[in-house]
Chain A
Amino acid sequence: MAAKYVILPCNGLDKEAGCLARELALKMAAAMDGEIICPVLYQTAPSRYASLLQEGNLIVIDGCATRCASRIAANNNLKISRKITMAEEAKKRDYNPGPDWRLGAGAAAFVEDVWRSWQPVFMEQGAGRASEENTGLFAGPVEYAIHRHDKFIFRVPLEGFYFNENDCWVQVEGNRGRVGISDYLQQNLSDITFVTPPDPGTEVEQFGEMGTIESAKAVYELVSPVTGRVVAINEAVLEAPELINENPYEKGWIAELELTNFEADREFLLDGRRYLEVLKEKVADFNAGK
């Protein structure tokens, strides 16, 4: 069953990127029977949309880099299911939104293309949830190694997890792998505010981009430790990104992949013990650089 969506777009007034956001919002609302939230009315009368927001998955569409819609969502502690930024979508497609408000030649095709690329994500969102029978496949780590430095404690699971030097891990069971970030990285990022995982169905290369994590300090591009196809994402971290801060190896996993080349990928990965040594060096280097 398709999920019900609530769309909070940018105001979309005087810049083309904003107008594109508005066009996409209208298209999505019509196609998915979604509801659009007026960003201005929401800010002034939030109770008007309270029940809608409780029932539906929230999609935020930003136009330009000011990201008003995201800010309004953040100011009101709204849980964002998906974020789309038209400026970024334009960059991916070599489309250059103008500084003025009129939609340029090719704008309609551009919006259509953005919609076509996101449509399967929303349609598969329900199917992409980790299934109940699958949750037992990935048991939590049996044993953690600990590295202490000053008041900081870093944990590394010793068995069943493999790391790349970008502090991302994969836990492997058969031809399935769960991926996430290490305890070291989550502590560096501090409070994580948004997670943008890869879309279900995405083919990911080892060391290719696997979404982003945003914290108060930085936006971090996730580097996939493995090659494969995304078959599920952790819906829980979309709704509660702080799960990654609480427990990056269990509740804070980000995506699940069907692995296509793990034997070859493993040659470029570190097991828990070797990663622990790398982690110690990173901590030492970080403190030496202070």
Chain B
Amino acid sequence: MPGNSFRKVYVIPCSGIGKMYGLLGREAVLKTVKELRPDKAATMCLALLVYGDDEARKEINGARCITVDGCPKLCAAKNVEQAGGVVVERVRAVDAFRNHRGVDAGTAAHLTAAGWQIADELAADLAGKVDRWYDASEEK
């Protein structure tokens, strides 16, 4: 798997448990890697990296990664870097709300229709970032 997916850009969200921003980031990442850019992007379960799974760490080591965090702890960005991933973009889910002030996006358990719309917008933004970094690696 590392040989096949290494050139892909990894898009890794925080666990997305317990806060709406985390859930929104998680959904946006899944849409990006599974639907919008399945040929260029991959993801990885952050808990695997965090508890030190060797295979996961090998896979991420040296790879270009876009992290998506829900809260200011930046768990995804910090842990991916610690595991040897090259974090080329640090995205914060909260920034996706800049054009949606005051919108009820949902809860830690469920997004509202407005929340899904913001997640879709974030996913589109992530897809653009994936294109940029994937194409950059192609040019090398």
A residues apposed to B, CB below 8 Å: 9-15, 18, 22, 25-26, 30, 36, 38-41, 43-45, 66, 68-69, 71-72, 75, 100-102
Contacts and interface: CB of A to CB of B under 8 A. Distances in A.
B47 A40 contact: yes
16 contacts: A11-B45, A13-B16, A26-B108, A36-B17, A38-B14, A39-B17, A40-B75, A43-B47, A43-B51, A44-B50, A44-B75, A68-B45, A68-B48, A72-B50, A72-B51, A75-B51
A40 B43 contact: no
Contact of A38 (B18, B51, B53): B18
Interface of B: 13-18, 22, 26, 30, 34, 43-48, 50-51, 53, 73, 75-76, 78-79, 108-109
B78 A39 contact: no
B48 A38 contact: no
B73 A41 contact: yes
A30 B86 CA distance: 38
A12 B17 contact: yes
Contacts of A40: 14-15, 46-47, 50, 75-76, 79
A12 B23 CA distance: 11
A13 B26 contact: yes
A45 B108 contact: no
Contact of A41 (B15, B34, B43, B108): B15
Contacts of B108: 26
B109 A26 contact: yes
Given A30-B109, A38-B15, A38-B17, A44 B79 contact: yes
Contacts of A75: 51
Given A26-B108, A39-B15, A13 B34 contact: no
A71 B17 CA distance: 18
